[in-house]
Structure 1
Amino acid sequence: MLESCDDLLTAEEACEVLKIGKNALYELLGAGTLKGFRNGRVWRIPKQAIVEYIKAQAKLS
């Protein structure tokens, strides 16, 4: 699924990829568990941050 995504994902796209709700995503971003940045009021999440988060949660690395 990530192959078809841009290098920067919106909050909605990240929720789709991770299969979580917006509140859960914003909690991860706020805690720093998932890396991202704000562009004005809009969150942008790098695709690589999603990959690293999944690997960390699955204890793959």
Structure 2
Amino acid sequence: MRVKARKVGNSVVVTIPKKFKVAVGQLFIARLLENSGGKILFTPIPSKWKLLRHADKHPK
């Protein structure tokens, strides 16, 4: 499967096929895998609380 990356402003946008059914606004953690030749692993974040916990922050 092919995906497309393009630069938009200061960001890189990755375009994936619709069959992945990703919700608009879905947040992901992106990790560059070491010794992988540039492979990126995207992990969806199910909720705001998990994002805060991952960032080692506490909600107010």
Larger Rg: 2
Task: Report the TM-score when normalising by structure 1.
Answer: 0.26
Using CA pairs under 8 Å that are at least 6 residues apart, name the structure with larger relative contact order, 1 or 2: 1
Larger relative helix fraction = 1
Task: Report the TM-score when normalising by structure 2.
Answer: 0.26
Larger relative strand fraction = 2
